[in-house]
C-alpha cells in the first residue's frame, strides 16, 4: 500500500482488548466469535491509528456496516479465521482503502459462478495452469471484497460482483479493478477503477485496494 498507509495485524485474539462503551454495547449480545473478531480488529485499528498520531477512539459500524473512522482518516478492517487486520491513512494522502483476508483454499462449489464474470473465469483457467499453487478463485473473491470496501465509502451505494472486472497478475502480486458501473467523481474525475495488491502466504490470502489522492 502507499507509504502513507499504516496497518496492524494479529493472528490470535488477545484476552485483554478494551472496548469503548459504545463498541461494547454493539457486541454485548453477539456470539463469542463475533465479539473476539470485533475487539481484536479494534485493537489493530487503534494500533495503526496511533502510528498516525490519532488518539484511541471508538470505531463503530456506520452506514451498511462501513467502519466509522476519526475525522480526516480513511481505513478498512478485515477478519477471518486466524487473522484480523486494519489499515488506515490520512484522507489527504489516500482517498479510500479496502482490505480483505480469506483462508487460502478453493471457494465452495457453486460460488465462483456467482461472483465472477465470464472473462474473469477464462483468465482464471490460464492462471491456474501458470501457478497451480494459488487458489485463484478465492483470490478473485478476496479482491472483490476489498474492492467493495474501498468503493462503498466513496460511492455510498452497492457494488455487485458483476460490476467490477478484475485482472489478477501472477508475477508481481498486483491486480487491476475495472469498474463496469459509473463511479463517483473524486478530485474532479470519475472513478473508473482501482489498483490492488495481493499476497498468499501461511494459509491466508490478503488483498488491498487503495486510491491515492
Contacting positions for ligand COA (CB under 6 A): 38, 41, 61, 64-67, 77-80, 100-101, 144-145, 147-149, 152-153, 159, 161, 163-164
* Residue placing its CB nearer to ligand COA in the complex, 34 or 92: 34
Joined grid coordinates for residue 118: 465470464
Torsion of CA 181, 163, 120, 108, to 10 degrees: 170
- Quote the CA–CA distance of 69 and 45 in Å, as a whole number: 9
* Residue placing its CB nearer to ligand COA in the complex, 107 or 159: 159
**Nearest to ligand COA by Cβ — which residue?**
65
CA distances to 83, 115, 120 from 42, rounded to whole Å, are 13, 29, 34
* Residue placing its CB nearer to ligand COA in the complex, 99 or 127: 99
Q: How far is the CB of 53 from ligand COA (least distance, A)?
A: 22
* Residue placing its CB nearer to ligand COA in the complex, 85 or 127: 85
Q: How far is the CB of 34 from ligand COA (least distance, A)?
A: 8
- Quote the CA–CA distance of 106 and 132 in Å, as a whole number: 12
Look at residues 100, 36, 41 and name the one whose alpha carbon lies nearest to residue 69.
Answer: 41
Q: How far is the CB of 80 from ligand COA (least distance, A)?
A: 6
Give the SS3 label for residue 191.
coil
CA angle 71, 101, 45 (to 5 degrees): 30
* Residue placing its CB nearer to ligand COA in the complex, 80 or 128: 80
Q: How far is the CB of 147 from ligand COA (least distance, A)?
A: 4
Asked if residues 13 and 39 have their Cβ atoms less than 8 Å apart, the reply is yes
Q: How far is the CB of 100 from ligand COA (least distance, A)?
A: 5
Amino acid at each position: 500500500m502507499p507509504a502513507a498507509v499504516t496497518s496492524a495485524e494479529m493472528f490470535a485474539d488477545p484476552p485483554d482488548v478494551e472496548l469503548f462503551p459504545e463498541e461494547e454495547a454493539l457486541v454485548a449480545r453477539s456470539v463469542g466469535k463475533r465479539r473476539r473478531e470485533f475487539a481484536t480488529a479494534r485493537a489493530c485499528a487503534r494500533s495503526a491509528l496511533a502510528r498516525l498520531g490519532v488518539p484511541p477512539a471508538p470505531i463503530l459500524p456506520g452506514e451498511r456496516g462501513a467502519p466509522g473512522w476519526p475525522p480526516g482518516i480513511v481505513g478498512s478492517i478485515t477478519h477471518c479465521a486466524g487473522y484480523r487486520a486494519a489499515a488506515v491513512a490520512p484522507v489527504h494522502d489516500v482517498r479510500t482503502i479496502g482490505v480483505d483476508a480469506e483462508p487460502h483454499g478453493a471457494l465452495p462449489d457453486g460460488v465462483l459462478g456467482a461472483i465472477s464474470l465470464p472473462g474473469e473465469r477464462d483468465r482464471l483457467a490460464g492462471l491456474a495452469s501458470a501457478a497451480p499453487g494459488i487458489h485463484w478463485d478465492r483470490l478473485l473473491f478476496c479482491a472483490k471484497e476489498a474492492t467493495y470496501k474501498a468503493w462503498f465509502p466513496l460511492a455510498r451505494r452497492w457494488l455487485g460482483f458483476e460490476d467490477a472486472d478484475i485482472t489478477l497478475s501472477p508475477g508481481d502480486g498486483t491486480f487491476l479493478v475495472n469498474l463496469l458501473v459509473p463511479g463517483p467523481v473524486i478530485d474532479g474525475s470519475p472513478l473508473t477503477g482501482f489498483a490492488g495488491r495481493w499476497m498468499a502466504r501461511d494459509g491466508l490470502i490478503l488483498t488491498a485496494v487503495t486510491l491515492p489522492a
